[in-house]
Amino acid sequence: MLLAGVLYLNTYKLKNIKVSGCVNVDEQTIIDAIEERSFSSNTVLLYLSNKFNPIDDIPFVAKLEIEFISKNEISVIVYEKSMAGCVEYMDQYVYFDKDGIILDVSSRIIEGVPCIKGLSFESWEMGEKLPIDDTSKFQSILAITQLVEKYELDIDGIKFTPENEIILIHDKITIELGSGEYLEIQMMNLGSILEGLEGKEGTLYMKDFNSDNATASFSNK
């Protein structure tokens, strides 16, 4: 019976891996990580191995969920880390979440994750909060990224001036928003304003743009 069980277990040969949930992580990276795993040739042993010792060392991935499809095929659902922004540090990009917790470091810039400038720090530690002087800036970054997603805006970067005013970068246009007091109304109207400035280079002034004063001005570079 034991021999029969072993022989039957050997029929669970992994031949196909179906990956879903990837946005910033390449699917082949997930497949390679699975195939490098102990017992990766057997679907049952791979499933059990991941249950007791989950794969948790893939950059930008929070966790993997492995499910059976058949004897020879598994489904891997990828849950990526939620990144609010990144800062450049010694030719690399340090990615952090909405609370400023450092998630990963990479030499590549990930599309859709804004690069933040104007955050001062001397060192950092993986899994710890980015040690900046004014932690309230993380709330501003979160608010901006949520509004960028809500209004489907194309923003390349966020910058904080020494006076703590907010500047956004869109292609070759610099957008001055001021203190962020009117952020919701500014971002709500930014998309339509940028449509009219397509292909131009310069500075868009929106510091006083609010519900009572819906006026913005543009200066060509």
2-80 against 85-220: fold identical:
no
Distance, in Å, from the CA atom of 147 to the CA atom of 86, rounded to the nearest integer, reads: 17
- β-sheet with 202-205: strand ranges across: 102-106, 92-96, 85-89, 115-117, 157-160, 166-170, 173-178, 202-205, 217-220
Distance, in Å, from the CA atom of 169 to the CA atom of 167, rounded to the nearest integer, reads: 7
Nearest residue to 134 via CA among 102, 101, 164: 164
Distance, in Å, from the CA atom of 130 to the CA atom of 102, rounded to the nearest integer, reads: 6
Distance, in Å, from the CA atom of 87 to the CA atom of 115, rounded to the nearest integer, reads: 6
* pTM score, whole prediction: 0.69
Stretch 16-42: mean pLDDT, rounded? 86
Which has more confidence, 180 or 7?
180
Q: Mind listing the pLDDT tens digit for each residue in 102-160?
A: 888 888 888 878 888 888 777 888 888 888 877 788 888 888 888 888 898 888 889 99
* CATH annotation of 2-80: 3.10.20
CA 203 to chain centre: 27
Nearest residue to 132 via CA among 144, 115, 119: 119
Q: Give the CA count within 13 Å in the CB-facing half-sphere of 19.
A: 18
State the pLDDT at residue 60: 85
Phi-psi sector, 2: left (phi>0), alpha (psi -120 to 50), beta: alpha
Which has more confidence, 56 or 10?
56
Q: Mind listing the pLDDT tens digit for each residue in 47-106?
A: 778 788 888 888 888 889 988 888 888 899 999 888 888 888 888 999 988 888 888 888
- Domain ranges across the chain: 2-80, 85-220
* CATH annotation of 85-220: 3.40.50
